[in-house]
Amino acid sequence: MSNLARDLEQREQLGNPISVGVIGAGQMGSGLVASLEIIAGMKPSIVVDAKLENAERALRNAGVSGDSIASAKNSAAAEDLLAQGFHVIGDNIDILPNTGIDAVVEATGVPDVGARAALQTIGRGQHIIMLNVETDVTIGRILKQLARQAGVVYSVSAGDEPGATVELVEFARTLGFSVIAAGKGKNNSLDFNATPDTVREEAALKGASPHMFCSFVDGTKTMVEMTAVANATGLVPEQPGMRGMHLTVADLAKTLVPTEWGGVLTRRGVVDYVHGVAPGVFAIVTSDNEVVRDDLKYLKVGDGPAWTLFRPYHLANLETPHTIAKAVLYGDVCLAPGDTPVAETVAVAKTDLHPGDRLDEIGGYTARGYIVGAAQARAQRALPLGLVQNALVKGSVAKGEIIKYDDVELWDDSLVVTLRRLQDQWLG
Give the span between the Cα atoms of 167 and 87, in whole angstroms: 33
- What is the per-residue pLDDT for 302? 95
What number is the average pLDDT over the span 97-108? 95
- What is the per-residue pLDDT for 1? 54
Burial of 37 (0-12, 13-18, 19+ CB in 10 A): middle
What number is the average pLDDT over the span 121-139? 97
- Reported as a single tens digit per residue, the pLDDT across 324-375 is 999 999 999 999 999 999 999 999 999 999 999 999 999 999 999 999 999 9
- State the CB neighbour count (10 A cutoff) for residue 343: 27
- What is the per-residue pLDDT for 208? 86
- Reported as a single tens digit per residue, the pLDDT across 46-60 is 999 999 999 999 999
What number is the average pLDDT over the span 81-108? 96
- Reported as a single tens digit per residue, the pLDDT across 248-298 is 999 999 999 999 999 999 999 999 999 999 999 999 999 999 999 999 999
pLDDT above 60: residue 171:
yes
- Reported as a single tens digit per residue, the pLDDT across 362-399 is 999 999 999 999 999 999 999 999 999 999 999 999 99
